[in-house]
Amino acid sequence: MRLMVAVFAMLLLPPGASAQPAAWSPAPGHTEMELWPGAIPDATPHKNAEQENPANYLVAGRQIELESMVDKPTLTLYRPAPAPSRPSGAQNSPAVVVFPGGGYSILAIDLEGVEVCDWLTKRGVTCLLLKYRVPGSGPYPKSPQALEDAQRALGLARQHAAEWQIDPHKVGVLGFSAGGHLAAALSTHFEQRLYSAVDAADALSCRPDFAAVIYPGYLADADKNFTFTPDIPVTAQTPPTFLLQAEDDPVHVENAVQYFLALKAAKVPAELHVYADGGHGFGLRRTRLPVTAWTDLADSWMKTIGITP
C-alpha cells in the first residue's frame, strides 16, 4: 500500500501549474449529474477547491489531466454511437460505470475516464463516468466515501435505465489502479448500502453484472508476502471479472493474480491476462507494448459472457 501511494506521488502537479485552475467538466453533449441530491454521506469538504491540472509526465507521448480535491462527486452520461449491428428488436444497450485511478488521491480523468468512455460508446455501450471523492476516500474500509459513491452510481444507472436506454441486467464496472480496487470492492460489497437510503435508486441492486479490473492496487499486501486482502470478501455472487496487469508493474502484479485466485476458489468466471512489460498507468493509449492492446481482449470477453453481441 505504501508503494501505491509512492507511485501516485509521482503524478503531483508540475511546479508551474496554475494556482486556481478550473475543475473538470465534460464536453458539450454529455449529461453530468450530481451523485447526491442533498447531504453527502460522510462528507469531508476540502480546504482547496476542486481542480484539474496536467500531470508532470506523458503517457504514450501525450499529456494527461488529473482531477484533485473532489468532494462533490458526479456521474456523467456518455451515450453510445448508433449500433446497426445490435440484434433486431434490442432497444437497450449494456452500460459500464468507469472508475478512473489515482491512488485515491487524484483521478486520471481523461486517460482512465473520458478516453475509456469514447472507446465504449463506439462499441454500442453506454458509459457512465464516476468522478468519486478524492483525496482521503479509500481504500475501503479505511474510508467508506469512494465505495458509497460507487454503490450510489450503480443504483442510479438502474433507476434511469429506461430513460438512458440501458439494459438494467447488463450494468458493469471498469476500473483502473485504485479504480480497479474500487471495482473489486463494489463487486464484493453490494448486499447492503454503506449509507442511509436517499431515494428509490438506493432500493435497487448495486451489484455489477460484470467487472473489468485493470492494473489494480490494494488487493495484495506486499508487507504480508502478497497475501490477498480480507477486505474484499469474494463469494460465488461476485460478478464475472476480467483482470489485466503487467508483471513489471511497480504496484505489483500479485494484486491481479491474488484476486484471480480468490475468484477461482469461489468458482466465479474470471479471465486473467498478465504481460511481461507495461508498467502502470497506461490506460487505453497504444504503444509498441502488446499490453496496450488489451481493449481487444476486453471486447472479446464482453462478447463471450453475453454482454455485447
- Per CATH, the architecture of 2-11+68-81+92-304 is what? 3-Layer(aba) Sandwich (3.40)
* pLDDT tens-digit series, residues 112-147: 999 999 999 999 999 999 999 999 778 999 999 999
Cis peptide before 135 (omega within 30 of 0): yes
Closest to 73 measured CA to CA, from 93, 95, 47, 44: 44
Closest to 45 measured CA to CA, from 169, 174, 161, 135: 135
DSSP class per residue in 38-86 = SPPTT----SSPPEEEE-SS-BTTB--EEEE-B-S-EEEEEPPPP-TTS
Predicted local distance difference test score (pLDDT) of residue 16:
44
Predicted local distance difference test score (pLDDT) of residue 291:
98
> What is the Cα–Cα distance from 284 to 232, expressed in whole angstroms?
26
Which is it for the CA torsion 154, 147, 144, 64, positive or negative?
negative
Residue 35 one-letter amino acid = L
β-strands 31-34, 74-78 pairing: antiparallel
Predicted local distance difference test score (pLDDT) of residue 136:
78
Predicted local distance difference test score (pLDDT) of residue 81:
75
Predicted local distance difference test score (pLDDT) of residue 84:
52
3-state secondary structure 219-239: CEEHHHCCEECCCCCCCCCCC
pLDDT surpassing 70 at residue 286:
yes
* pLDDT tens-digit series, residues 212-263: 999 999 999 999 999 999 999 999 999 999 999 999 999 999 999 999 999 9
* pLDDT tens-digit series, residues 261-272: 999 999 999 999
Predicted local distance difference test score (pLDDT) of residue 15:
42
Q: Please indicate whether residue 60 or residue 1 has the higher confidence score (pLDDT).
A: 60
Residue 306 one-letter amino acid = G
Domain range summary for the chain, segments of one domain joined by +: 2-11+68-81+92-304
pLDDT band at 89 (very low <50, low <70, confident <90, very high): very low
* pLDDT tens-digit series, residues 73-83: 999 999 997 75
Supply the pTM of this predicted model.
0.93
DSSP class per residue in the chain = -HHHHHHHHTTPPPTT--SSPPPP-PPTT-EEEES-SSPPTT----SSPPEEEE-SS-BTTB--EEEE-B-S-EEEEEPPPP-TTSPTT---EEEEEEE--STTTEE-TIIIIIHHHHHHHTTT-EEEEEE--BSS--STTT-SHHHHHHHHHHHHHHHTHHHHTEEEEEEEEEEETHHHHHHHHHHHS-SS-SS---SGGGGS----S-EEEES--SSEEGGGTTEEPTTS---TTSPPEEEEEETT-TT-THHHHHHHHHHHHTT--EEEEEESS--S--TT---SSGGGGHHHHHHHHHHHTTS--
Predicted local distance difference test score (pLDDT) of residue 88:
45
